[in-house]
Amino acid sequence: MRVLLVEDEATLAAQLRQVLLDAGYAVDQADNGRDAWVQGGVQAYDAVVLDLGLPVLDGLSVLKRWRSEGMSAPVLILTARDQWHEKVVGIDAGADDYLTKPFHTEELLARVRALIRRASGLSSALLACGPLALDTRSGRVTLDGQPVNLTAQEFKLLSYLMHHPNELVSRTVLTEHLYAQDFERDSNTIEVFVARLRKKLPAAMIETVRGLGYRLNVPASPAAAA
C-alpha cells in the first residue's frame, strides 16, 4: 500500500515516515501544499495523511483542488487541538477522517488502515480468502489456521490483492501501489513475488490473466454455492 505523507514540520514528518515504513507502507512525502497537490494529482495512492497548516498552499486548498479534479484516495487530515473548526471544514471539503495533534502513532496507523479498508469496501481488520487470513493490525498471515511466513514484499503484494479480492489487477498498478516514488521500479519483480507466494499458498488462489495481470480468487462460500 502506498501513502502520501504531507507534513512541513521536519521532525514530525521524519517520525511519521518511519512509523509508516515500519508498518509496511511505501511512503512518498511533500513538505508544502504545491508539491502535495501535484503529487496527489499524478500518482496513485491508497491513502493520504495531510497536515492543514502547510506553506505555499494550505492543506485545505490542496484538498479542495484534489477533490475537484477527481482525486479519490482517502484523506486523513491532521489538525491542531484548538482548531476544531478546521475539522468541520476539512470533512466538508472531502476529507475522510481527522486526527488532532498531538496524537499516538498507533492511532494514526489504525485510522490509515481503516481508511484503506473502507476504500476497498471492507469492514473488518481481518481479511479472509477461503482458508487464507491476513490480519492488517498484526501483519499475521495464516492458512487453515497455521502461520505463513512471508517476506516484507510478499506480504505487501498479498495485502494489496486481498484488499481487492476477485479484481483483475495489472502489474503496473501493483508496482505503483507497492513502491514509493523514489524506488527504482521493475514490474518483472512482481512476477517473482507472485511465484514465491504461489509456493506458500494454494497455487490456484492467485490467477494469472495473461497480458493483463493477476486476480486473487475468493472461493465461494458453501451457502453461495448451494
pLDDT (tens digit per residue) in 86-126: 778 888 999 999 999 889 999 999 999 999 999 998 889 99
Report the pLDDT value the prediction gives residue 89, as an integer from 0 to 100.
85
Q: How far apart are CA 170 and CA 213, in angstroms?
A: 4
**Same domain? 149 vs 219:** yes
What is the SS3 assignment for 15? helix
Asked whether residue 183 carries a pLDDT value surpassing 70, the answer given is no
Q: What is the DSSP letter of 148?
A: -
pLDDT digits (tens, 9 = 90+) for 196-219: 999 999 878 999 999 899 999 987
The residue count for the chain: 226
Highest mean pLDDT among 9-13, 41-45, 98-102, 222-226: 9-13
Report the pLDDT value the prediction gives residue 182, as an integer from 0 to 100.
65
**Same domain? 204 vs 106:** no
Q: Residue 210 is part of which domain span?
A: 126-225
Contact (Cβ atoms closer than 8 angstroms) between residue 47 and residue 73: yes
Report the pLDDT value the prediction gives residue 179, as an integer from 0 to 100.
85
CA angle at 121 for the pair 120 and 124, rounded to the nearest 5°: 100
Question: Do you find a cis peptide bond into 165, omega within 30 degrees of 0?
Answer: no
**Same domain? 70 vs 42:** yes
Report the pLDDT value the prediction gives residue 196, as an integer from 0 to 100.
94
Partner residues linked to 68 by β-bridges: none
Going by pLDDT thresholds of 50, 70 and 90, the confidence category of residue 156 is: very high
CATH assignment at residue 86: 3.40.50.2300
**Residue at which a domain ends, from 100, 119, 138:** 119
**Same domain? 50 vs 105:** yes
**Same domain? 114 vs 132:** no
**Same domain? 99 vs 141:** no
Stretch 55-68: mean pLDDT, rounded? 96
**Same domain? 85 vs 193:** no
**Residue at which a domain ends, from 76, 99, 119:** 119
Q: How far apart are CA 22 and CA 5, in angstroms?
A: 14
Contact (Cβ atoms closer than 8 angstroms) between residue 142 and residue 79: no
Report the pLDDT value the prediction gives residue 203, as an integer from 0 to 100.
78
Grid cell at residue 174: 501493483
CATH assignment at residue 146: 1.10.10.10
Asked whether residue 226 carries a pLDDT value surpassing 50, the answer given is no
Lowest mean pLDDT among 50-54, 60-64, 100-104, 180-184: 180-184
Number of domains in the chain: 2
**Same domain? 101 vs 131:** no
Contact (Cβ atoms closer than 8 angstroms) between residue 71 and residue 41: yes
Grid cell at residue 30: 511533500
Report the pLDDT value the prediction gives residue 181, as an integer from 0 to 100.
75
Farthest-apart Cα atoms in the chain, separation: 59
Asked whether residue 46 carries a pLDDT value surpassing 50, the answer given is yes
Residues 6+ apart with CB under 8 A from 71: 40, 41
Asked whether residue 222 carries a pLDDT value surpassing 70, the answer given is no
**Residue at which a domain ends, from 77, 97, 119:** 119
**Same domain? 173 vs 78:** no
Task: Report the C-alpha dihedral over residues 5, 9, 14, 152, rounded to 10 degrees.
Answer: -10
Report the pLDDT value the prediction gives residue 16, as an integer from 0 to 100.
97
Grid cell at residue 87: 475539522
Asked whether residue 164 carries a pLDDT value surpassing 90, the answer given is yes
